[in-house]
Amino acid sequence: MRKKLATVWLGGCSGCHMSFLDLDERLLEIAQWADVVKSPVVDQKEFPEVDVVLVEGAVVNAEHEEEIVLMRRRSRVLVAFGDCAVTANVPSMRNAWPKEVVLRRSYLEVPGTVEGRVPTEEVAALIDRVRPLHELVKVDFFLPGCPPSADLIYYVLTELLHDRVPVLDEARLKFG
Ligand code: SF4
CATH of the domain at 69: 3.40.50.700
In a domain, 110, yes or no: no
In a domain, 111, yes or no: no
Q: How far is the CA of 14 from the centre of ligand 1 (A)?
A: 7
pTM, two decimal places? 0.95
Report pLDDT for 35: 97
In a domain, 59, yes or no: yes
In this structure, the residue with its CA closest to atom 6 of ligand 1 is 84
CA–CA dist 139, 158 (Å, integer): 18
In a domain, 54, yes or no: yes
Query: For the chain, what is the domain count?
Result: 1
In a domain, 81, yes or no: yes
Residue 17's domain comprises 3-92+127-175
Average pLDDT by stretches of 10, the chain with 176 residues = 96 97 97 96 92 98 97 98 98 97 91 78 93 98 97 97 94 78
In a domain, 77, yes or no: yes
Question: Any residues with CB less than 8 A from the CB of 62 and at least 6 apart, and which?
Answer: 124, 125, 126, 127
In a domain, 157, yes or no: yes
Which residues form ligand 1's pocket by a CB distance below 6 Å?
12-13, 15-16, 56-57, 82-84, 89-90, 146-147
Q: How far is the CA of 19 from the centre of ligand 1 (A)?
A: 10
